[in-house]
């Protein structure tokens, strides 16, 4: 359960006053379609590709069951300090290099061990699920933590609509391959396109989220527009972005960082503060934005979500199954 070097999961975060608490529109499908197609409502602007201030408003009701006591990070933190190697390996590269990326229109192909498969427009993939806002505590590989208000729909509820069969033991995800829009894909730092996977019971856990926004707005390009995975009990690299394929499979799927460095990146990526990274301790962390000299706090097992997810790994050696 070690994460041993940086990879493409977001490491950054909003002021409490920036979190909106609005009711879900009655016509869920038309709302999402309008947001994805039109950009900022009422301003007549196009999709704000790569812009820090970008994103169309999303009317999502806050779910009080998913919250943390710590205040959210700033919006600037989460949109200017990112790991998204498709746009470059520096933390500032995604915000700087993602302006050419076009997140609309968007389709997702669903395949494998399920009764309902095919290619779906994003708004059809997500309906009839109402958008909700959840505030999650996340963690980066280099012992930094962050708090983010995500907007999305429960992953498990979406997957159930495809009626996975008994052979669906895992769910695999794939990122879009567009080197003309994603300059990092022209460099062999990883094997492209980026791939990720979860065990089916992990994917069905209520914490797992398919996110389409953050801070009440559609996702900026550098944060994984228009659709990404959020698994708050795992390190950042279980957060695949710009998803174009979902595949139900009986075999454990390959994952990009395990392919790249199998001795450093395992399949599970659970947070275990009792197992040190080869180059630093995972026992303590500090919040992003607090400064290099801020006091560190103890890292929590499963990133603080032990009560919700520990049962998924009962009987497993989390030092070996990293």
Q: What is the pTM of this model?
A: 0.85
- The beta-strand segments (E) located in 64-184 are 107-112, 118-121, 132-139, 144-154, 170-175
Chain position carrying tokens 């197992």: 275
Encode pLDDT of 83-112 as tens digits: 999 999 999 999 999 999 999 999 999 999
Report yes or no on 182 lying in a domain.
Answer: yes
pLDDT mean over 173-179: 98
* pLDDT value of position 8: 42
Report yes or no on 89 lying in a domain.
Answer: yes
Q: How remote is the C-alpha of 160 from its chain's centroid?
A: 19
What's the sign of the alpha-carbon dihedral 251, 113, 312, 235? positive
- Cα-atom radius of gyration of the chain, to the nearest Å? 18
Rounded Cα distance between 213 and 166, Å, is 32
* pLDDT value of position 141: 67
pLDDT mean over 133-141: 88
Report yes or no on 181 lying in a domain.
Answer: yes
Report yes or no on 125 lying in a domain.
Answer: yes
Q: Total structural domains in the chain?
A: 1
Which residues 6+ apart lie within 8 Å of 45 measured at CB?
39
* pLDDT value of position 237: 79
pLDDT mean over 138-156: 89
pLDDT mean over 299-312: 95
Report yes or no on 127 lying in a domain.
Answer: yes
Report yes or no on 137 lying in a domain.
Answer: yes
Report yes or no on 9 lying in a domain.
Answer: no
pLDDT mean over 258-262: 92
Domain carrying residue 121 = 16-313
pLDDT mean over 113-127: 96
Rounded Cα distance between 38 and 30, Å, is 12
Supply the mean pLDDT for the chain: 84
Helices (H), the chain: 28-38, 75-80, 93-97, 122-126, 155-160, 200-204, 256-260, 306-309
Q: Judge whether residue 10 has pLDDT over 70.
A: no
Rounded Cα distance between 248 and 170, Å, is 6
Phi and psi angles of residue 166, each rounded to the nearest 5 degrees, phi first: -65, -20
Q: What is the CATH number of the domain that holds 251?
A: 3.90.420.10
Report yes or no on 244 lying in a domain.
Answer: yes
Rounded Cα distance between 135 and 116, Å, is 31
* pLDDT value of position 66: 96
């Amino acid at each position: 359960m070690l994460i041993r070097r940086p990879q493409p999961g977001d490491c950054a975060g909003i002021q409490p006053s920036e979190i909106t608490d609005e009711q879900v529109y009655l016509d869920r499908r038309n709302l999402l379609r309008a947001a994805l197609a039109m950009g900022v409502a009422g301003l007549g602007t196009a999709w704000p590709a790569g812009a820090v201030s970008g994103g169309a408003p999303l009317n999502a009701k806050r779910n009080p069951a998913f919250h943390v006591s710590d205040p959210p990070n700033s919006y600037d933190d989460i949109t200017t300090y990112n790991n998204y190697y498709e746009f470059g390996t520096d933390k500032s590269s995604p915000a700087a290099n993602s302006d050419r990326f076009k997140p609309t229109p968007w389709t997702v192909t669903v395949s494998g061990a399920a009764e309902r498969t095919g290619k779906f427009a994003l708004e059809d993939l997500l309906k009839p699920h109402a958008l909700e806002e959840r505030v999650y505590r996340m963690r980066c590989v280099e012992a930094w933590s962050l708090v983010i208000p995500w907007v999305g729909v429960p992953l498990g509820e979406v997957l159930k609509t495809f009626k996975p069969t008994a052979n669906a033991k895992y769910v695999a995800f794939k990122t879009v391959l567009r080197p003309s829009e994603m300059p990092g894909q022209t460099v062999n730092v990883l094997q492209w396109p980026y791939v990720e996977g979860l065990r089916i019971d992990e994917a069905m856990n209520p914490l797992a989220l398919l996110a389409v926004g953050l801070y009440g707005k559609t996702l900026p390009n550098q944060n994984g527009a228009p659709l990404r995975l959020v698994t708050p009990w795992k390190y950042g690299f279980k957060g695949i972005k710009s998803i174009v394929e979902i595949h139900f499979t009986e075999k454990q799927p390959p994952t990009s960082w395990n392919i790249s460095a199998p001795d450093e990146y395992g399949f599970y990526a659970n947070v275990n503060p009792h197992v040190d990274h080869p180059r630093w301790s995972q026992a303590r962390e500090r919040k992003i934005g607090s400064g290099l000299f801020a006091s560190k706090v103890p890292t929590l097992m499963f990133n603080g979500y032990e009560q919700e997810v520990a049962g998924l790994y009962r009987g497993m050696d989390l030092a070996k199954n990293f």
